[in-house]
Amino acid sequence: MKIDFIKLLSESEDHLTIPQLAKDMAKEGLFKNPKSAYDMIHYHINGKAKACDWELLKYLCKRFNKKGTEIITWDN
């Protein structure tokens, strides 16, 4: 499973960049600092993620006004 952050950001009306999203996620308390959020985003982009944090998924659903099934991509 992975989150396609590139697609998510490109479809966003806010025209966010990865560093801006990482900063926002750190502000929300999902990560200790923007660097750890940035690293996690790239972990998902590169397809290395084995799971998704529940709080992160809830945040992304709320932030981008999408359902979880629209955010998560399931790989075999």
pLDDT of res. 52: 82
pLDDT tens string 10-69 = 998 888 999 999 999 999 999 999 999 999 999 998 888 888 889 999 999 999 999 999
Structurally, how many domains does the chain consist of? Answer: 1
Residue 20: which region, alpha, beta or left (left: phi > 0; alpha: psi -120 to 50)? alpha
Res. 75: pLDDT tops 70: no
pLDDT of res. 51: 81
Strand, helix or coil for residue 42? helix
**What is the end-to-end Cα distance of the chain in Å, rounded?**
8
pLDDT of res. 64: 95
Domain range for residue 9?
2-73
